[in-house]
Structure 1
């Protein structure tokens, strides 16, 4: 049994819309456990673990199953401004769980740096998920004000990656 990214997203969406607090799928090649955030069970930490024979098992950061997955697959709407002192800024968020990369390859320059101007549709980073490199494009034109994630760092669905001051 294999799951692709879209099937995992559907599982997360189904879990978030149900009364089920935890879901575990096991096969001979992997084990996937999804827990709703805020659900506490004795001696456990909410995690998503995916392992297979070709990939060494490694725990990932928790998935926020309360966030609607449909938004990630739907046509992009302008990102929401973060609360507080940066109310004039918009957030570029991760559409999936994966690993954040600032450049297309280790020996190449980053897609964007703080102070760079970006246009709608311009690639700003890569999120690697299940050995697939997914280019993330800017949903708004503007100036990159802050990059909130370090290169090669794991990211969660919906996690803020960059702050943009729109044009």
Structure 2
């Protein structure tokens, strides 16, 4: 079971309203508990076999991400768009282009942005996380529709840094 499958399982349990889910396979035991607080989810991951060093990070309990703590890592885009920077989602959740329904959009295609500008909000477990730009440039394309679910590391924006 890889990290993406575990994240999807956590997301499913949080939405289902179940208070506890235990999953046991040949070499893995996972327990997901939600407390009385709907925002609190505890995950315990135990492996019966030797665990590679890269997997050890999953054994720690996740902490809720508060507003402004979710950095966006700019990553080089595909070869045809190599001059553009892809801004990807740092978390799973629901993507919003504006702070509330009656407010204007954070950014639009063609708009020039600076480092630290808020690009969008991603809601994860009732927490609204402002996603800030780590690059300056011009927004070339918005790759996600408003109010749609996004996955970890999913491309959100294409930015021309020149």
Do they fold alike, i.e. is TM over 0.5? yes
**Measured at CA, do residues 31 and 146 of structure 1 come closer, stay the same or move farther in structure 2, by a change above 3 Å?**
farther
Shift in Å at residue 161 of structure 1? Answer: 0.2
1:123 aligns with 2:100: no
Out of 138, 143, 152, the position equivalent to 1:157 is 152
Query: Normalized per residue, which structure has more strand?
Result: 2
Structure 1 unaligned residues grouped into runs of 5+: 1-11, 34-49, 56-65
Scaled by the length of structure 2, the TM-score of the pair is 0.60
Structure 2 unaligned residues grouped into runs of 5+: 24-32, 39-54, 59-64
Offset from partner CA, 1:3-49 (integer Å, 9 cap, x none): xxxxxxxxx9xx54xxxx8697889525488xxxxxxxxxxxxxxxx
Superposed counterparts of 1:4-19, under 5 Å: 16=3
1:166 aligns with 2:161: yes
Distance 2:145 2:34 in 1: 24
Superposed counterparts of 1:6-45, under 5 Å: 16=3, 29-31=19-21
Q: Where has structure 1 moved over 3 Å in runs of 4 or more?
A: 21-28, 30-33, 50-55, 73-78
Scaled by the length of structure 1, the TM-score of the pair is 0.58
Shift in Å at residue 84 of structure 1? Answer: 2.6
Query: Normalized per residue, which structure has more helix?
Result: 2
1:147 aligns with 2:137: no
In terms of Rg, which structure is larger? 2
Shift in Å at residue 75 of structure 1? Answer: 9.7
Match of 1:124, SS state, is: strand
The answer as to whether partners of 1:78 and 1:140 remain within 8 angstroms in 2 is: no
Partner residue, 1:80: 75
Query: What RMSD over aligned residues (CA atoms) do the two structures have, in Å?
Result: 4.1
Offset from partner CA, 1:54-88 (integer Å, 9 cap, x none): 97xxxxxxxxxx9x99xxx9996862221131110
